[in-house]
Structure 1
Amino acid sequence: MLHQKYPEIAIEGDNFPPGGFRLQAAQFISVAKMAVIVMVLASINIFQNVGQPTPSWWAWMLENKLYACMMTFFLCNAVETQLISTGAFEISLNDMPLWSKLESGRIPQPAELFQIIENHIRMRGVGTGGEDFTTGYVKDEL
C-alpha cells in the first residue's frame, strides 16, 4: 500500500534481532532438533549406548519414525519461532523513527500511517544538506 501511494519512496524490511539468551536458546533447540531427527532416522538408541533402559517414548519414536520426525520438527520450530519473535514493527523514514510497535503496543492503521508520513514530509520538506525527503525510504523492522 505504501509503494502505491508513495512510489518514490524505497521500502525495505528487516528482522529485529531478539535478545542474546533467546537467540542462543533458539539455536540450541535447532541443533538438538536436527540431532534427534538424525538419531531417529538412523535408529540410534542413545539410552542403550549409555547403559540406561530405553524410555517408552523413545521406543515409540524409533518405531514411528516418520510421525516422530515430523512432530519433533514442527514442535521445535514452534518453540524456536516464539523465542526469536520480538513483536517489533518499527517504521522510519530517512533514519527518522516514525512508529514503534514496541513503544505503542500496536501496529498503525494504514490511514494513520499515511497521515504520519504526510506530516513528516510536510514538516521536513527538504532536509539538511539539500536532500529531498519525498525521495527517501521507509524502513520497517519486524
Structure 2
Amino acid sequence: MQKGMQVQGEIYPPTPMNVMLSQICMYVLFTMIALTFIGESLFKTVDFPLGLKVCNFLKTNFSATMILAFILNTMAQQLVATGAFEIVINDETVFSKLETGRLPTMELLDDLAKTYVDSATS
C-alpha cells in the first residue's frame, strides 16, 4: 500500500424505522422461542390458562414454529442490511453502490487505483 494512503471501513446506518422493525422481529422471535421451551412451566406457576394454550400450540406445531423463527431472523437481518458500498478518495465520492445499484467492476477499481496512486506518487 502506498505511504500516506488510508483505507477505512465504516458501517452505513440503516433507517431508524428499519432498525425498529428489526428489533421488533427479534423480540417476537426470542419471546416465541422462550414460550416454546419454558412457557408451560412459567404459565403454570402464575396460573394463566391462555398462556398454556399458546405454549401448547407452539409445541405441537414445533416445525412451523422453527420455520417462523428462521423467517423472523432473516427479516430482521435484511431490514438492517443497507448494501452500501462507497469509495471515497480525498473527501470525494468516486463510486457509490447506493447511486449505481451495483458493485464496482474490476476495471473501475483498477482505473481508480492507477489514477489516484499515480497522482499521489508524482
Same fold per superposition (TM over 0.5): yes
- Residue 27 of structure 2 is aligned to residue 31 of structure 1: yes
Identity between Structure 1 and Structure 2 (%): 24
Q: Which has the higher strand share?
A: 1
User: Per the alignment, do residues 90 and 50 of structure 1 end up closer, same or farther by CA in structure 2, a change over 3 Å counting?
Assistant: farther
- Residue 71 of structure 2 is aligned to residue 75 of structure 1: yes
* Matched residue SS, 2:9: strand
Q: Which has the higher helix share?
A: 2
> Which residue in 1 is equivalent to 2:117?
121
C-alpha separation between the residues in 2 aligned to 1:16 and 1:50? 46
Total equivalences in the alignment: 116
C-alpha separation between the residues in 2 aligned to 1:68 and 1:42? 18
User: Per the alignment, do residues 69 and 10 of structure 1 end up closer, same or farther by CA in structure 2, a change over 3 Å counting?
Assistant: farther
Structure having greater relative contact order (Cα 8 Å, sep ≥ 6): 1
The runs of at least 4 consecutive aligned structure 1 residues that moved more than 6 Å come to: none
User: Per the alignment, do residues 51 and 20 of structure 1 end up closer, same or farther by CA in structure 2, a change over 3 Å counting?
Assistant: same
User: Per the alignment, do residues 30 and 102 of structure 1 end up closer, same or farther by CA in structure 2, a change over 3 Å counting?
Assistant: same
Please give the per-residue CA displacement for 1:58-112, whole angstroms capped at 9, x wherever unaligned.
64421254x3553233111111122112221111234432210111121111121
User: Per the alignment, do residues 88 and 25 of structure 1 end up closer, same or farther by CA in structure 2, a change over 3 Å counting?
Assistant: same
* RMSD over aligned Cα atoms: 3.2
User: Per the alignment, do residues 50 and 29 of structure 1 end up closer, same or farther by CA in structure 2, a change over 3 Å counting?
Assistant: farther
Deviates more, 1:18-27 or 1:111-120: 111-120
> Which residue in 2 is equivalent to 1:49?
48
Q: 2:36 aligns with which of 24, 34, 40?
A: 40
- Residue 81 of structure 2 is aligned to residue 63 of structure 1: no
Q: 1:14 aligns with which of 6, 10, 14?
A: 10
C-alpha separation between the residues in 2 aligned to 1:29 and 1:16? 21
The two structures have a TM-score, normalised by structure 1, of 0.63
C-alpha separation between the residues in 1 aligned to 2:71 and 2:26? 11
C-alpha separation between the residues in 1 aligned to 2:11 and 2:66? 27
Q: 1:98 aligns with which of 69, 73, 94?
A: 94
User: Per the alignment, do residues 122 and 26 of structure 1 end up closer, same or farther by CA in structure 2, a change over 3 Å counting?
Assistant: same
